[in-house]
Amino acid sequence: MQNVISIFKKLFFFPHQLIKQFGFFMQSVVNFIILIPVYFIGIGIMSLVSKIMKKSYLNLSKKKKKSYWLKRDKRLDAKGTEYRMF
């Protein structure tokens, strides 16, 4: 029985790999198509609004400061926060 299984495994190895690769290819095509509007509309609008409001999230521009240490983000220490994913 094991011999039969191993013959089948060998026989279907390349078709299986081909189907797998095709699956990955289709996945990347679908992701590409779906994520273009998500990115260019969703993130684009978010970016535009934050640029209009002059909101910077990443603190990329250097300011004259004595220290760069930030106070603890209080959201993370709020009561019951450990039950949440945020």
Determine if 66 is a binding residue for another protein (CB under 8 A): yes
CB of 18 or CB of 30, closer to another protein: 30
From candidates 8, 24, 25, 39, binder to another protein by CB under 8 A: 39
Specify the residue for token string 């509007």: 37
Give the Cα separation of 27 and 54 in Å (integer): 37
Distances (CA, A) of 40 to 29, 33, 36, 58, 85: 17, 11, 6, 20, 27
Site for another protein in 3-32 (CB under 8 A): 27, 31-32
Indicate whether 40 belongs to the interface with another protein (CB under 8 A). Answer: yes
- Under the binding rule (CB under 8 A), the answer on residue 46 touching another protein is yes
